[in-house]
């Protein structure tokens, strides 16, 4: 009988219908996995924990966490068996719970989530409904899903999972433990190890390149590739064009959100994050550890220095120096942007006052 969904209940994460489950683990094992500290006697740290939960829904067999001080009141009332907390909140953990102390609680939560719910393991083999070219090379430990298409001379490494209806084009090389989700397409690309491509992503198609002629536009052959470094993640419905005469390069550990466009010849440094609906035009160079927020647009042939921050909906039309933060369209240094916002509000208030109108309370800059 199908269970009826009750929206009034607070479900715990990790529904076994959808997520692989591991454990239970002792508090000592959890702390060891996180590199965290537990100030409790041995008989306490041997307590077994069977799952994860939020502070408000956790029970004695669950581990939870507190990262944002705004939710500290929930810590006071939690029934969790163990809580991952920053040292400044360790004393507030209720008597019935064990404090797992770390300076980075959210990072700890990420690690403990992977401990209890590791990524799905491959089920080695090729589904009967898959189409694999005889010249493709597939490691015996890889999983090829139903309806997937693997082209000639493609190489799929050990432990890879190719999801249903994914298409891996001719000559694509893929390292170990990659996960290519349903309906993704990859061509003209070389992937490192542990790369994740989410559903519907398009990688390796023609870049947007044309030459002008008297009769109209003439397409320029796109002869480059897409190179993706180890542990990069490409979000759902994101598109990454292959290079024209150079390669498009996505560095190791880059995280690209859903619905992002990366143009041809773009090079993105390691550890960079690009958030949903951002667009990067061709031949732009992006350094390491850059953050590009949602709906930002970066024009072509620019240099974005390492550790730069680009705010949401920014229009970047000039180079951005390393370590700086820009906002607005056209983008400018964040301090200058906010000064202009305040000045415009004051001018608007002054104009209404002269017209005999009272300024709105929401316009106050106090």
Task: List the catalytic residues.
Answer: 264
Token digits of residue 216: 């109209």
| Residue written as token pair 């959210």 | 106
3-class DSSP state for residue 119?
Answer: coil
Partners of 186 in the β-ladder: 168, 203
Token digits of residue 274: 């690009």
Rounded distance between C-alpha atoms, residue 207 and residue 103, angstroms: 44
Contacts of 199 (CB under 8 A, 6+ apart): 163, 181, 182, 183, 184, 236, 237
149, 167 Cβ separation under 8 angstroms = yes
Cβ burial 231-258 (10 Å sphere, 16+ → b, else e): bbbbbbbbbbbbbbebbbbbbbbbbbbb
Task: Give which of 244, 238, 242, 250 is closest to 286, Cα–Cα.
Answer: 250
Q: Give all strands (DSSP E) within 33-130, no chain letters.
A: 37-38, 48-49, 51-52, 62-65, 82-85, 98-101, 125-126
Rounded distance between C-alpha atoms, residue 65 and residue 84, angstroms: 4
Terminal Cα-to-Cα distance of the chain (whole angstroms): 59
């Amino acid at each position: 009988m199908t269970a009826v969904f009750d929206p009034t209940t607070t479900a715990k994460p990790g529904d076994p219908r959808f997520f692989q489950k591991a454990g239970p683990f002792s508090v000592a094992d959890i702390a060891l996995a996180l590199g965290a500290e537990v100030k409790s006697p041995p008989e306490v740290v041997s307590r077994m924990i069977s799952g994860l939960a939020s502070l408000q829904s956790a029970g004695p067999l669950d581990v939870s966490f507190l990262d944002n001080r705004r939710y500290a009141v929930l810590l006071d009332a939690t029934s969790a068996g163990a809580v991952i907390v920053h040292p400044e909140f360790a004393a507030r953990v209720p008597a019935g719970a064990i404090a797992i102390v770390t300076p980075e609680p959210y990072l700890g939560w990420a690690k403990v989530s992977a401990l209890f719910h590791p990524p799905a393991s491959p089920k080695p083999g090729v589904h009967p409904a898959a189409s694999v070219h005889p010249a493709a090379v597939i490691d015996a430990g890889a999983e090829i899903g139903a309806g997937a298409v693997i082209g000639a001379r493609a190489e799929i490494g050990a432990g890879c999972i190719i999801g249903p209806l994914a298409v891996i084009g001719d000559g694509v090389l893929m390292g170990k433990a990659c996960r290519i989700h349903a309906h993704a397409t990859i061509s003209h690309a070389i992937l490192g190890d542990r790369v994740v491509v989410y559903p519907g992503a398009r990688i390796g198609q023609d870049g947007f390149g044309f030459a002008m002629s008297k009769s109209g536009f003439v397409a320029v052959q796109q002869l480059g590739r897409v190179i993706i470094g180890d542990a990069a993640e490409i979000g759902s419905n994101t598109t990454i064009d292959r290079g024209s005469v150079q390669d498009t390069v996505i560095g190791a550990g880059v995280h690209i959100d859903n619905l992002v466009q990366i143009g041809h010849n773009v090079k993105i440094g390691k550890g960079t994050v690009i958030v949903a609906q951002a667009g990067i035009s061709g031949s732009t160079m992006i350094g390491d550890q850059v953050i590009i927020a949602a709906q930002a647009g970066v024009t072509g042939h620019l240099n974005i220095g390492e550790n730069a921050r680009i705010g949401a909906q920014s229009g970047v039309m000039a180079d951005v120096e390393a370590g700086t933060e820009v906002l607005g369209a056209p983008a400018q240094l964040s301090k200058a942007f906010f000064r202009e916002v305040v000045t415009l509000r004051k001018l608007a208030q002054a104009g209404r006052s002269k017209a005999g109108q009272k300024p709105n309370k929401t316009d106050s800059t106090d």
